[in-house]
Amino acid sequence: MKPYCRDTWVEVNLDAISANVRTFRAHTPKQTGIMAVVKADGYGHGSVQVAREAIAAGADTLGVAMLDEAIVLRKAGITEPVLVLGYTPLDSVEKAHRWDVELTAYQADWIREADRLLLQSENPAKPLGIHLKADTGMGRIGVREIPELLEVTEALAAAKRLAWTGIFTHFACADEPDTSHVKAQHERFQEMLAALREIGYQLPLVHCCNSAAAIVFPEWGYDTIRLGISLYGLYPSPYLKERQDIQLVPALSLKTRIAHVKTAAEPFTVSYGATYTAQPGEQVATLPIGYADGFSRAFSNRGIVLHNGMRAPVVGRVCMDQTMVRIDQGNARVGDEVVLYGKQGTEEFSLDEAAAILGTINYEVPCMLNARVPRIYLRNYECVEICQGIVKG
């Protein structure tokens, strides 16, 4: 018996995750490692399940956005190196040390205070790993000038309970046809690395490539790439999808089953605000999914779903828990499977197309899907795990 009650679910194809890791393994230099980025619960796919699959396929490290996400992996028994790519408050440094999670740093004062806090702790474990972040043109976090970099590096070198384990930057425009910005960023990063070498520092793990840069500039792989959006079979931009440098396999599908069907004998309005009127003979099906699940209200009167391998438009406003669609073939039945994202037969409604309708990027669409929607994990088309975020046990 399935451990959830509503007929709405996400399917995650683990074979696709493995295939995408292998694709980048073949595309990048042999000596370059792969950091599987599983932040935001694996971009909505499930961080633990994706991390395990990526590691089995050849990834050797993991990246997350915050310490809480790293602890989820550790509690699941994952022992591979995990790096927090974003900011970590000083009051969480000891917890990171306890869970053996590497942190990102870019402020000398933060490094000195973190070291002081760990010196006060009674934990005799190995030093806490630190990756220095260089801001070469992203404008978020990181050191911007070489004197600042040298000050931060000096503070880290003097620390007793911290270990310098990495240095990295992040590209802002690696997915665009104009490569001038990304090349300038890479040149700036090389200048920073050279400045460190010139005063005698032995560089630790060096990384700069996100998915986009790894596709276009695999020779910039250094010691590892950070495989994010493309781990899940999605291209960082329409431009890179059109280039076809590599072939990716989308891992996620969103599915539901029809809960009710009505055929208009006379005109009737549909959903809040009466923004759509069904005409005589039209068939309207109700789906048990809404914006509370992460199926955006912006799909109202604009979205597309698949039924019996045919496209069906969303009609009326998407509700919190229900959505209505028009079945032009008139063959809908209660219980019929409907695909909201993914393939059905020869037809597909991709996350890229959904993002275009919503006026956003494909990254955001799966990230919106929340814990109300169970995840079903498939390998060789067979269910190997079900994760339900509401019902436990």
Residue 29's alpha-carbon distances to 54, 202, 219, 276, in angstroms, are 18, 22, 7, 54
Q: What's the distance, CA 321 to chain centroid? A: 24
With tokens 């956005």, the residue in question is 65
Instruction: Based on the residue annotation, tell me whether 39 is a catalytic residue of this protein.
Output: yes
Spot the catalytic one: 39, 106, 133, 341: 39
Residue 140 known to bind ligand:
yes
The Cα 88–Cα 105 span in angstroms is: 8
Query: CB neighbours of 180 closer than 8 A, spacing ≥ 6?
Result: none
- Provide the 10 A C-beta neighbour count for residue 39: 19
Q: What is the rounded end-to-end Cα distance, in angstroms, of the chain? A: 13
Q: In whole angstroms, what is the distance from residue 289 CA to residue 372 CA?
A: 10
Q: What angle do CA 246, 251, 257 make, to 5 degrees?
A: 145
Active-site residue 95, yes or no?
no
Alpha-carbon distances, residue 33 vs 101, 232, 257, 380 (angstroms): 18, 18, 42, 26
Select which of 2, 75, 239, 272 is catalytic: 272
A 10 A CB-CB count for 283 gives 18
Where is the binding site for substrate, in residues?
140, 320
Residues classed as catalytic: 39, 272
Where is the binding site, in residues?
140, 320
